[in-house]
């Protein structure tokens, strides 16, 4: 991204400038130059934390790119180990989706606590929410928001004046699902197509599991070669 974008971001989000800024709950600060660094864009916890609802709540951010494959994770704890050899940010709150549109606010109103973490979450517990954006150039951008779970934050945030000023989607901001290639490809269908090709070429075809297996392998090989 060009340095001029820095200024654009600064104009957009008064609090910080980066490839993307988390506005609710607030991120750690300006990480423009280091946002490529796992897991939190090169900034460590500065002691500041935002209250965030114990039952889950909104997450709002201002991205700059046309689109980004976006994942939201959480790590529980006061002092989350953030070395690169251990990934504590391995609890997924929102699985990877295609966030579309930039230079505006994007807000998911009801992000839930992962079921596996519910027993650990109660008022006063500290945690860090990580937002990851994989952008078209292949760069992964990281940004984190330090929180303390609160039983009263949902009510405060529920006030329409607060909600409407923080959690909205600007014009042209949206999202679409990423289909999972593993489940979207119908290998049976592929195998049958392969067999039909062989039939057309005059080969003897019997639908045994062996033929199907080799046919599948061939289909996958074709798929893989087409990817490159
Ligand atoms: C903590 O947040 C306050 C209020 O936003 C800010 O003035 C202060 O600089 C922050 N502290 C650090 C260490 O970033
Ligand atoms: C949570 O973080 C705050 C601010 O950094 C700190 O004062 C508090 O002791 C922490 N709470 C726990 C339970 O560690
Ligand atoms: C993601 O969204 C962008 C912008 O709408 C679109 O051009 C792109 O094809 C999408 N990519 C995938 C894999 O959904
Ligand atoms: C956001 O603004 C910057 C600077 O004007 C521009 O280069 C970029 O293309 C814009 N992004 C989108 C998605 O409009
Ligand atoms: C913003 O758009 C996303 C994706 O379409 C949607 O899930 C979300 O509910 C929208 N946010 C608001 C505040 O309407
Ligand atoms: C996959 O293709 C086969 C053969 O056409 C069909 O019978 C089956 O219903 C398909 N499966 C799915 C999940 O679409
Ligand atoms: Cu960028």
189 lines ligand 6 (CB under 6 A): yes
Domain count within the chain: 1
Q: 31 pLDDT exceeds 80?
A: yes
Which residue CA neighbors atom 2 of ligand 1 most closely?
48
Which residue CA neighbors atom 6 of ligand 1 most closely?
48
Residue 173 in tokens: 């901001």
> Which CATH number do you get for residue 121?
2.60.40.1220
Out of 20-34, 166-180, 208-222, pick the least confident: 208-222
pLDDT tier at 196 (50, 70, 90 boundaries)? low
pLDDT digits (tens, 9 = 90+) for 148-179: 999 999 999 999 999 999 999 999 999 999 87
In three-state secondary structure terms, 8 is helix
What is the phi/psi pair of residue 109, to 5°? -75, -30
Whole-angstrom distance, CA of residue 153 vs CA of residue 85: 34
Domain around 112: 4-227
Whole-angstrom distance, CA of residue 214 vs CA of residue 2: 49
Length of the chain: 228
Which residue CA neighbors atom 13 of ligand 3 most closely?
178
Ion ligand 7, residue ranges at CB < 5 A: 1, 19
- Sheet containing strand 20-24, edge to edge, reads 20-24, 57-63, 106-111
pTM across the whole model? 0.76
Q: 64 pLDDT exceeds 70?
A: yes
45 lines ligand 2 (CB under 6 A): no
């Amino acid at each position: 991204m060009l340095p001029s974008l820095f200024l654009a971001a600064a104009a957009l989000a008064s609090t910080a400038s980066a490839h993307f800024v988390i506005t609710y709950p607030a991120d750690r600060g300006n990480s423009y130059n280091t946002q490529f660094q796992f897991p939190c864009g090169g900034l460590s916890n500065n002691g500041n934390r935002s209250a965030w609802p114990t039952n889950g709540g909104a997450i709002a951010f201002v991205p700059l790119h046309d689109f980004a494959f976006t994942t939201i994770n959480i790590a529980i704890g006061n002092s989350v180990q953030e070395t690169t050899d251990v990934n504590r940010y391995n609890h997924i709150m929102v699985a990877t989706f295609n966030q579309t549109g930039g230079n505006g606010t994007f807000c998911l109103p009801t992000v839930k606590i992962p079921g596996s973490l519910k027993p650990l979450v109660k008022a006063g517990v500290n945690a860090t929410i990580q937002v990851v954006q994989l952008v078209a150039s292949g760069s992964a951008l990281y940004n984190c928001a330090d929180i303390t779970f609160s039983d009263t934050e949902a009510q405060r945030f529920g006030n329409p004046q607060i909600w409407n000023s923080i959690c909205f989607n600007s014009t042209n901001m949206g999202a679409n699902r990423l289909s999972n290639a593993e489940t979207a490809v119908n290998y049976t269908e592929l195998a049958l197509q392969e067999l039909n090709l062989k039939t057309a070429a005059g080969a003897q075809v019997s639908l045994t599991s062996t033929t199907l297996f080799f046919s599948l392998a061939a289909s996958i090989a074709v798929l893989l070669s087409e990817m490159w």
